[in-house]
Structure formats: C-alpha cells, structure tokens
Structure 1
C-alpha cells in the first residue's frame, strides 16, 4: 500500500492506495514548511496522521504540498514524516501534482487557486516555467487568502454598505482589534483570511464584492497566466476557489482570449491514477 498526500496551507488530504484503489481517505490540518517548523509538522503527523491510519502502514509515501518547491523545505517534510513512518518519502510541490493531474502527458498550463495560488507551464513531463506566486502579501492573486485580505480591507476602510459590514462582523464575531491581531500577530494569517471565501461567494451580488473578486482574478491571469503560452495551450484549474468561482473565472478568461480546460476541486483522484 502507498500513502498519497495533497497538502495546502489549510488542510491535507490523505489517501491510502492499494493496487490503484483507495482503501482509506481522511484529512488533517495543512502542512507548509514555509509557515511551520519541522517540530510543528511532526506534531501534526503524530496527532493527526497516525491515529487516522488505523494501524495501516504504507510501503511508500508520496507527499505533494504547498511550499515544497525547494530541497531544504522538502527535507523538512520528509524528516517530519520519517520520524513516525519508516517508509521512503517522496516530496514534490503541489504545482507538480496539479500539472500531472490536469495536463496528463500533454502540454498545458496548470493553475492552483485555493488558500494560495500558483501556476506553471508543463510540457507533458515536467514544469518548464513557473511565475513565482510570492505568497499572499506580495502575490497569490486570486487566492482565498487574497480575496479575504481585500474583503477585510474593504470592511475596515468602510468600503462596504454599512449593513453588509455589520453582518460580516456579527457573523464571524469579529472586531477591528481582533482582525488586526489575527492578521499581524497570530499564526497562519493566510488561513484566517481564506476562511472568509464563503461570505464573499454568498454576497457576489454586492457591487463592491463583485469588483474585488473580478479584480483579483483578472490580476491572476494578467500577472501569472499571461506570462505563459496561454493563447495556444489550455489553461487548467484546481482548488477550492477555482471550483466554486469557476463561472467567473471562465468569463474573465473568455474575455482575455484564454481557453479554460479542466476545472477540478481536488487533484487526489488524478494522483491515485498516476501512482496506481
């Protein structure tokens, strides 16, 4: 049996696979070596992964994750897993997983839109070009974290109708002081910000909400996708934001002359097939 992980900053999807078939699936909290120490990730393996395995031991682990784009970061993941599992661990980026799943053996452009965002051009075998996502402070256009950041900015700068602002603060039991503390002092501000995506989706009929969403998605295509051969290759999307906002993304892409291919909520099914 092999164990496959698809990890973002918010959650990790795990699947135990035997002979190409899923035998156990579960979730733990996300693990990102850019935001967590090796000890913190090891604790998540100990308290989240091990109990969920139910005494099943994999012969190999394939871990794809956000932040796993550099050898030293990948080693942090490998050591965290090997502290509790003796199986060999192969670590790759979530972008590689997206490209393998979305593009298959053909060329294309693979994009991730979830808590963070990322993109690449893939030749059917490997990633040949990647515009650095830069994280939610400097980049991550179109991501849940950036959508949440823009929403919070509108809330605190009174750019929303007063009743919608009050509804938001009441629904999430927030004050300006709590928001500032969560963004600037508490861990995982990207998770905090991305958690407001359901509110944004629910209120797309509000012009100020619609404007921030379309502006962020347009920036994603302009600052990332258009740096690839996007007018000759299909553009595929995966992730929670890609899935729930796909109609808007398709409309913006159409206006830009970009052809959208596959849109998937999660790469796991494709990873099962790839490794099966």
Structure 2
C-alpha cells in the first residue's frame, strides 16, 4: 500500500442521553451515517457502552477499520471522558487517534465555527456555553433534569406529566393526553421513580406538546419553560451582543417559541440545527 495515498477513516460521533449520531468519512467523502442509542458515561458504565457499540454499530462492517475517532458526548468530562475513551479503545484497538470531548464543545464548533457566540443544546437535556476565540470559556452547569435542564425535553415532559396528573391543564388537554397514551398515575410513577432512563421517558412526551402547541395552555407552558432557560442560563454570560445558537431536537421543533422567548430578554437567536452532524 502506498502510504502517500492513504486517507484515514474518520469516525465522528455526537451523543446525547437518548441517541448517538455517527458519521464515517474518508477525507471529505461521507461513507456512512448511523444512529445508535445514547451513551452517557455518567449514566451507564464502560461494559454497557462497549455492548452498544458492538451490537448496534459494528454490525456494519464499514465501521470496523476506523483509524481516527472524534467522540463528543453528554457526560464526557472528567472521569466520564476516561470511561468513554477506554470503551472506544477496547472496541477499536487499532485506532491511531481517539479524541473525546463534551457534547457542548461539539455543538459549539458546529454552530459557531470561527465566530464568537453562545452555543446551546436543547434535546433530552439542556446545556449552554460561551464560545470565544475558538474555546468554551464559560459554562453554566445544566445540573440535570431534577435540579436544572431548563427547556429540555425531559423537563418539558416532567412539567406536562405533573400538570396532567394534578389537573392543572384544561380538561380538553388532559383528555387528549389520556386518549393518546392511556397511562395511569401508577404506571407513570413506576417509570419515573423505579425504572432506568427516566429522562428519556419524560422527554418522550415532547411530541404531544408539539401536536398541541396552538393550545393557549401549552403555549404558556412552552413560553414559561424557554424563558426559564434564558433567564437561568444565558443571561449569566452577560453577553447580549452575541447570537445565541441552538442544536437539538427540542430547539429544532420549537424554534418559533424559542425565538419569541429570546426576544423577551433582548437576545437574538442565530442558527438552529437539529444535530451537529447536520453540518457537512
């Protein structure tokens, strides 16, 4: 093989708590795309990560001979980075280079490029960071869906379920919810408090909010939660001069509501992408 003509296979991943998007490239040529379940090393261990990789990704032989890996994921900081890197190295021992970084860094690079800005993630969870000079220089801790994650799918779902079960929403909304899902209070409590991945379960109700977004009560819920995201996160950076960019399924679906909430604080929403790997 002529080494001068060798083009390494680059595998890039963007992973949230619900799903992981994969992009396999040779130079600028896209060879394959794939989606597996999410892998957050703060929620699952190395063994489970390796199992997901082998059973959901390596079933496609095109992903076997990877030489460079760039993995951006939720929970990939500190020990989480170490866990993910060990799992990737175990699955691809031949890889020449493996880089692991936070999902926020991956989002900032995709959204801001070489410009300064505020990069945000609104998916199952939420996060944000001030990106200046090609680096993340500040980050308001998202704190997870129990203490924070304002505006995320998990928190929107949590609020919806609580308001339905406590009859805080109009009767027509509650009846529509019951007709669509047929879940009892006991079944919901079981899923939230006694089974794993409660954040994914809560976020799974975002489509109901999207389907009923024209209802005044749902409009109010969305407006309030997105306002909480800006107030408790973005305003702390004290940079109203910078555009606020978003990536994630929630931001993509509720783009109009998000832009309206930003205007309340004199902020400008810039780019909104469904996923970082949507950028070629």
**TM-score tier (shorter):** over 0.9
Confirm or deny that 1:219 pairs with 2:233.
no
Normalising by structure 1, what TM-score? 0.94
Inter-partner Cα distance in structure 2 for 1:148 and 1:186: 16
Tell me the CA shift for residue 132 of structure 1: 0.1
Which among 241, 249, 256 is matched to residue 247 of structure 1? 256
List 4+ stretches of structure 1 deviating above 4 A. Answer: none
Tell me, yes or no, if structure 1 residue 208 matches structure 2 residue 199.
Answer: no
Structure with greater contact order relative to length (CA < 8 Å, sep ≥ 6): 1
Equivalent in 34, 37, 61 of residue 42 of structure 2? 34
Structure label with greater radius of gyration: 2
Q: Contact 2:57–2:63 at 8 Å: present in 1 too?
A: no
Given that 1:103 and 1:124 are in contact with CA atoms closer than 8 Å, whether structure 2 keeps it comes out as: no
Task: Supply the distance in 1 between the matched residues of 2:23 and 2:244 (Cα, whole angstroms).
Answer: 27
**Which 10-residue stretch deviates more, 180-189 or 47-56?**
47-56
Question: What pairs with 1:22-171 in structure 2 (closer than 5 Å)?
Answer: 22-54=30-62, 56-70=64-78, 72-86=79-93, 87=95, 88-171=97-180
1:221 match: secondary structure: helix
Classify 1:156/1:53 alpha carbon distance in 2 versus 1 (closer, same or farther; 3 Å). farther
Q: Distance in 2 between matches of 1:235 and 1:177?
A: 40
Residues in 2 aligned to 1:192 and 1:126: alpha-carbon distance in whole angstroms: 33
RMSD of aligned Cα (Å): 1.3
Distance 1:55 1:110, change over 3 A: closer
Name 2:187's counterpart in structure 1: 178
Aligned to 1:79, the other structure's residue is in SS state helix
* Number of equivalences: 270
Segments of structure 2 that go 5 or more residues without pairing to the other structure are 1-8
